[in-house]
């Protein structure tokens, strides 16, 4: 093994590949061995090849800065993350269960509201949330499913268990990078596949197609499915195109669609108007339909909500789904699972303090230096305060914010995110990571084998978002022992 | 499978820009050869390239002196100059970037690679030493892209609009090259009888027509026969007549094609019975002008019928 690997020390965290003494976990051994045996210049050549592949395949994401939008090459780390198939099976079951319960909750909230009546979730926490959309009340999407595509963020804690950190039910992104990361590994480290049987991930687009096709209001062999993108300047445009192509669907912008007097949605084509059955929307619901939501939206399609309520078009994820990815609602998910499914939660949630509850709030304000404080409605890692990493002034600032608007804040204990060996310049260092699997649900439920592993590239940092300098790793689900 | 109007427009322009990059590279390469064959003092000026590409205004914005270095910097080195090769490639890439879902995977990768290459190598390829290698790369890579399109793309609407864009651009470029090239050669007619064959040969070469001409017509290139060849030769895929004829079956597969078909008919009527012998230089110029207007008319009817669409 090369010097780099020998001098690698996992910190006081669960390390995905290396155990405390410095030797690799059994399941990671062939990978570490191969990487460790590569000569210096060979290794450099592989890393360069990976960078080139990313540029040539045009895998990019857009970063918004004051100086304008920049198209950045996707950050990829050569060292894969390895998870055993056995461990993954239990995670997968937990995620399927969670997705079922979340969808039953959304359907309940917009219809009978039994969960409020039975006192399991306080009505006002949901109804006062900006994620609750009045416009969706009374709708009944097919199979009672609202969130057809869910991206849940998991972390592995020091105890070695996976925890769900949050569920993204609006327009979760990242799945194309999961597929492309595998593609890059295949190109630059082909030998490594000889020693492993790794579950394939490139099936995702066809699974997504199946999930969406089942929603079609018209019985047709090939329903007309479109991916609705805000356009080329959206940070996830690459992914929108990737998925449309993978499904053989049209990639449309708002201006390509219109709703006619018959309350059906049509797209403008070279053959005239063609009716659309299913819209996989990758634009925020607030911009989806200027008739129903923000009037100033130029990205949306006027009348879309009318068509959806009339049952003439399916929209995935259904508008209003975001009501269940509120960070306050998150705290109630284990209760939902027990309430709707009469089952024990199979995957852990992070203990969550709701600042709206007086007792919780007192605890949070007293222990703010040890907690992570999050606004209930932001995504992308914005507006989060990590207590142990923040200074006193920031603690005071967040205490004031909480007192001013307790509904909008939650707090959680600081978790010890697991680490994995990551190339940092010439060296290999432990860096924290998370995992975003994707759960598809319509007629049935399907979970990606693995998901997108995101890496915080700065030492000690827990911020993994690519918009804030995070990296990524190929994630393997393999046969073998820990 | 139908096609979004917006997507149709973008693949059409992608094809035009790819063709433009290739044609421009051929043109520059042919002149580059010629310059080395001709005795100093009687070589044609590089300025002719600027005139063929209708780039006088752009040139004056960027440079003062119309010398070899500046002309080539404009056509090869400036990514932001609308008549340059890297600009055409960049524009093609932008159009592919937004239509990746209807094109084969390799097309995006190839266009993207071509873009990276054309932008990075452009600056240092202006000098005579690397120039030819650069131009050959551009030609080869655009041909690979066309090859992939031809061998992997379904003969559906995307293929159709790609073909429309490609053939239209090619016909347009052929008429430009003949128009400016002929006037340049004829103006110097008195100057050097001896090198006229060489000059006409170069013109054919820039259209990749030299070999075919020699096989089908005669080894020695002669003006009228050369112009007839690139305008009318029914078997030569870059002749104007061939391009226009190939457009017809593509249009037949599209709905609402009446206007475009009429525009094609007008071009065919104009071409019918064309013989270079009938024209002097001034008349040929007027004729080509009118032909170009008709070709542009075809472009406009394609745009109005399939790209700009309101409800319906």
Collect all residues with Cβ–Cβ distance below 8 Å to A388 and sequence separation of at least 6. Answer: A369, A370, A414
Question: Does pLDDT of A271 surpass 70?
Answer: yes
Question: What is the DSSP code string of B47-107?
Answer: HHHHHHTT-HHHHHHH-SS-SHHHHHIIIII-TTSTTSHHHHHHHHHHHHHTTGGGS-HHH
Pairing state between β A371-375 and A385-386: antiparallel
The mean pLDDT value of chain B amounts to 89
B156 close to A (CB below 8 A): no
Length of chain A: 482
pLDDT of A482 = 60
Q: What is the pTM of this model?
A: 0.82
What tens digit of pLDDT does each residue of B124-181 get?
A: 888 888 999 999 999 999 999 999 999 999 999 999 999 999 999 999 999 988 888 8
Nearest CB neighbour to A232, from listed B5, B97, B312: B97
Judge: A56–B7 Cβ closer than 8 Å, yes or no: no
> Among A115-119, B42-46, B115-119, B130-134, which stretch is predicted with the lowest mean pLDDT?
B42-46
What tens digit of pLDDT does each residue of B190-212 get?
A: 455 667 788 888 889 889 999 99
Does the model's ipTM exceed the 0.85 cut? Answer: no
Helix (H) or strand (E) holding A475: strand A471-478
Question: What is the DSSP code string of A355-417?
Answer: TTSHHHHHHHHHTGGGEEEEETT--TTTT-EEGGGS-HHHHHHHHHHHHH-GGGEEEEEPP--
Confidence of residue A66 (pLDDT cuts 50, 70, 90): low
d(CA B160, CA B254): 9
Least CA distance to A245: which residue of chain B?
A: B101
Q: What is the DSSP letter of A442?
A: S
Query: Do the Cβ atoms of A161 and A482 come closer than 8 Å?
Result: no
- Using alpha carbons, select from A318, A396, A296 the residue that is nearest to residue A133: A318
Q: What is the DSSP letter of B214?
A: H
Question: Does pLDDT of A169 surpass 90?
Answer: yes
Helix (H) or strand (E) holding B176: helix B157-187
Nearest CB neighbour to A251, from listed B101, B108, B309: B101
pLDDT of B311 = 41
CA angle A437, A443, A448 (to 5 degrees): 15
- How close A443 gets to chain B, by Cα (Å)? 26
Q: Enumerate the residues of chain B whose CB falls inside 8 A of the CB of residue A267.
A: 4
Confidence of residue B42 (pLDDT cuts 50, 70, 90): low
Judge: B97–A272 Cβ closer than 8 Å, yes or no: no
What tens digit of pLDDT does each residue of B17-40 get?
A: 999 999 999 999 888 887 777 766
Judge: A270–B306 Cβ closer than 8 Å, yes or no: yes
What tens digit of pLDDT does each residue of A326-355 get?
A: 888 999 999 999 999 999 999 999 999 999
The mean pLDDT value of chain A amounts to 91
What tens digit of pLDDT does each residue of B60-118 get?
A: 888 888 888 899 999 998 888 889 999 999 999 999 988 887 888 899 999 999 999 99
Average pLDDT in the A98-119 region?
A: 97
pLDDT of B312 = 40
pLDDT, greater one: B36 or A302: A302
Q: Which of B4, B12, B104 to mutate to test the interface with A (most CBs of A within 10 A)?
A: B4
What pairs with residue A434 in β-bridges?
Answer: A454
What tens digit of pLDDT does each residue of B1-19 get?
A: 789 999 999 999 999 999 9
- Using alpha carbons, select from A447, A474, A284, A452 the residue that is nearest to residue A379: A284
Q: Enumerate the residues of chain A whose CB falls inside 8 A of the CB of residue B108.
A: 58
Query: Do the Cβ atoms of A293 and A286 come closer than 8 Å?
Result: yes
d(CA B269, CA A167): 66
Tell me which residues of chain A have a C-beta less than 8 Å from any C-beta of chain B. Answer: 55-58, 227, 232, 241-242, 244-245, 249-253, 255-256, 258, 260, 267-274
Tally the C-alpha atoms within 13 A of residue A69's C-alpha that lie toward its C-beta.
Answer: 10
Average pLDDT in the A187-203 region?
A: 90
What pairs with residue A149 in β-bridges?
Answer: A440
Residue B64 burial (10 A CB sphere; 0-12, 13-18, 19+): exposed
> Among A136-145, A149-158, A468-477, which stretch is predicted with the lowest mean pLDDT?
A468-477
Query: Do the Cβ atoms of A115 and A339 come closer than 8 Å?
Result: yes
Q: What is the DSSP letter of B155?
A: S
Judge: A274–B2 Cβ closer than 8 Å, yes or no: yes
Least CA distance to A240: which residue of chain B?
A: B101
CA distances from residue A54 to A75, A181, A366, B222 in whole angstroms, order as listed: 9, 9, 47, 51
Nearest CB neighbour to A270, from listed B3, B101, B116: B3
Average pLDDT in the A122-140 region?
A: 92
């Amino acid at each position: 093994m090369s010097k780099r690997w020998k001098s690698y020390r996992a910190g006081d965290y669960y390390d995905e590949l290396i155990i405390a003494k410095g030797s690799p976990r059994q399941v990671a051994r062939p990978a570490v061995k191969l990487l460790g045996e590569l000569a210096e210049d060979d290794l450099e050549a592989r890393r360069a090849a990976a960078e080139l592949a990313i540029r040539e395949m045009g895998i990019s994401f857009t970063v918004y800065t004051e100086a304008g939008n920049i198209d950045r090459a996707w950050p990829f780390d050569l060292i894969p993350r390895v998870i055993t198939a056995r461990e993954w099976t239990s995670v997968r079951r937990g995620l399927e269960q969670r997705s079922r319960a979340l969808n039953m909750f959304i359907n309940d909230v917009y219809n009978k509201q039994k969960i409020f009546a039975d006192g399991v979730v306080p009505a006002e926490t949901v109804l006062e949330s900006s994620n609750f959309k009045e416009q969706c009340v009374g709708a009944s999407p097919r199979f009672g499913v609202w969130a057809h595509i869910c991206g849940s963020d998991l972390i592995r804690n020091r105890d070695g268990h996976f925890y769900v950190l949050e569920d993204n039910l609006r327009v979760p992104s990242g799945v194309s990078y999961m597929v492309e990361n595998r593609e890059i590994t295949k190109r630059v480290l082909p030998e490594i596949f000889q020693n492993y049987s790794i579950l394939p991930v490139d099936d995702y687009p066809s699974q997504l197609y199946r999930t969406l096709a089942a929603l079609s209001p018209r019985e047709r062999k090939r329903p007309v499915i479109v991916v609705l993108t805000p356009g080329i300047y959206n940070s996830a445009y690459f992914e929108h195109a990737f998925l449309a192509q993978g499904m053989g669907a049209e990639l449309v912008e708002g201006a390509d669609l219109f709703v006619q007097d018959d309350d059906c949605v049509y797209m403008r084509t070279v053959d005239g108007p063609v009716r659309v059955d299913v819209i996989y929307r990758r634009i925020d619901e607030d911009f989806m339909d200027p008739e129903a939501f923000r009037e100033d939206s130029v990205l949306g399609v006027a009348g879309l909500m009318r068509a959806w309520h009339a049952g003439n078009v399916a929209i995935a994820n259904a508008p209003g789904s975001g009501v269940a990815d509120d960070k306050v609602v998150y705290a109630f998910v284990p209760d939902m699972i027990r309430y709707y499914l009469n089952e024990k939660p199979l995957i852990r949630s992070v203990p969550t303090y709701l600042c709206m509850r007086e007792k919780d709030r007192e605890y949070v304000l007293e222990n703010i230096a040890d907690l992570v404080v999050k606004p209930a409605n932001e995504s992308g890692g914005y507006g989060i305060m990590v207590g142990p990493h923040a200074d006193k002034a920031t603690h005071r600032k967040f205490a004031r914010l909480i007192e001013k608007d307790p509904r909008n804040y939650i707090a959680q204990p600081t978790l010890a995110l697991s680490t994995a060996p990551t190339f940092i310049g010439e060296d290999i260092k432990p860096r924290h990571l998370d995992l975003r699997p994707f759960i598809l649900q319509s007629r049935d439920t399907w979970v990606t084998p693995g998901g997108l592993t995101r890496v915080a590239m700065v030492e000690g940092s827990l911020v993994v978002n690519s918009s804030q300098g995070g990296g990524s790793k190929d994630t393997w689900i393999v046969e073998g022992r820990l | 499978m139908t096609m979004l109007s917006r997507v149709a427009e973008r693949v059409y322009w992608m094809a035009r820009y790819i063709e433009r990059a290739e044609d421009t590279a051929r043109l520059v390469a042919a002149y580059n050869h010629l310059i080395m064959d001709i005795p100093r003092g009687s070589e044609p000026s590089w300025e002719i390239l600027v005139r063929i590409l209708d780039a006088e205004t752009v040139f004056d914005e960027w440079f003062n002196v119309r010398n070899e270095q500046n002309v080539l910097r404009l056509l090869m080195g400036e990514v932001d100059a609308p008549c340059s090769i890297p600009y055409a490639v960049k524009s093609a890439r932008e159009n592919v970037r937004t239509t990746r879902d209807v094109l084969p995977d390799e097309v995006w990768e190839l266009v993207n690679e071509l873009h990276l290459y054309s932008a990075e190598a452009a600056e240092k390829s202006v000098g005579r030493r690397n120039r030819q290698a650069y131009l050959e790369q551009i030609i080869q890579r655009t041909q690979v892209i066309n090859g992939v399109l031809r061998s992997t793309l379904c003969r559906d609407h995307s293929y159709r609009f790609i073909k429309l864009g490609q053939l239209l651009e090619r016909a347009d470029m052929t008429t430009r090259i003949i128009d400016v090239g002929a006037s340049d050669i004829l103006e110097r007619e008195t100057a050097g009888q001896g090198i006229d064959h060489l000059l006409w040969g170069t013109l054919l070469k820039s259209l990749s027509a030299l070999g075919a001409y020699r096989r089908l017509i005669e080894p020695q290139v002669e003006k009228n026969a050369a112009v007839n060849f690139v305008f009318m030769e029914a078997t030569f895929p870059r002749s104007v007549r061939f391009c226009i004829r190939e457009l017809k079956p593509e249009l037949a597969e599209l709905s609402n094609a009446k206007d475009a078909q009429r525009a094609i008919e007008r071009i065919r009527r104009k071409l019918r019975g064309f013989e270079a012998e009938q024209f002097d230089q001034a008349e040929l110029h007027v004729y080509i002008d009118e032909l170009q207007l008709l070709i542009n008319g075809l472009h406009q009817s394609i745009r109005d019928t399939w790209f700009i669409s309101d409800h319906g």
